[in-house]
């Protein structure tokens, strides 16, 4: 299975929750509510949000009334940024990003096909913003209100 790690998936859902509350002035979202909405352990979300904070995709406010919020408007956050932060990259194989990872590159045909597949994915996630996903979400909920 060419699978996304849970970090990438959970992290995107986390960001989507924050995106939904973006603009609700002063209202940061607390991890516990995300954890409940998405049925993901708080502890695990805490680990996931650290890199998102480091890479300046989210801001944190400590203490009572605190929580997390997006650092930028959702239409200025690409899905590829989230994945790059949480998964290290969007590459299917290390060889693509890391020059020294694999000495086989110059004569490895499979490199070509993983590379091309990676470009497909990258292209898709580079042109998809959190705002796009928010809209998909709203549309989906509208179609199935109950």
Partner DNA sequence: CCGTTTTCAACATAATTTTATAGATTTTAT
Partner DNA sequence: ATAAAATCTATAAAATTATGTTGAAAACGG
Interaction residues for ligand FES, span 74-103 (CB under 6 A): 95, 102
- What phi and psi values does residue 116 have, to the nearest 5 degrees? -65, -40
Contact track, ligand FES, 31-70, x by CB under 6 A: ----------------------------------------
Interface residues with a copy of itself (CB under 8 A)?
1-5, 8-9, 12-13, 16, 79, 83, 87-94, 106-110, 112-114, 116-117, 120-121, 124-125, 128, 133-134, 136-137, 140-141, 144
Alpha-carbon gap, residue 107 to 121, rounded angstroms: 24
DSSP state of 55: T
d(CA 59, CA 66): 10
| Residue 66 interface partner, choices ligand FES, DNA, a copy of itself, none, CB cut-off 5-8 Å depending on type | DNA
Within 10 Å of residue 26's Cβ, how many Cβ atoms? 7
- Cα(101)–Cα(33) distance, rounded to whole angstroms? 40
Name the residues that contact ligand FES, by CB under 6 A: 95, 102, 104-105, 108, 110-111
């Amino acid at each position: 299975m060419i699978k996304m790690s849970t970090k990438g998936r959970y992290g995107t859902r986390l960001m989507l929750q924050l995106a939904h509350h973006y603009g609700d002035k002063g209202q940061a979202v607390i991890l516990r509510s995300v954890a409940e909405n998405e049925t993901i352990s708080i502890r695990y979300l805490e680990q996931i949000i650290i890199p998102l904070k480091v890479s300046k995709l989210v801001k944190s406010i400590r203490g009572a009334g605190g929580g997390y919020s997006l650092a930028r408007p959702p239409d200025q956050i690409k899905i590829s940024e989230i994945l790059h932060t949480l998964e290290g990259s969007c590459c299917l194989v290390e060889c693509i990003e890391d020059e020294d990872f694999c000495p086989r590159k110059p004569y490895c045909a499979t490199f070509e096909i993983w590379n091309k597949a990676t470009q497909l994915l990258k292209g898709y996630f580079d042109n998809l913003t959190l705002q796009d996903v928010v809209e998909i979400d709203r549309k989906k909920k509208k179609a199935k209100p109950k």
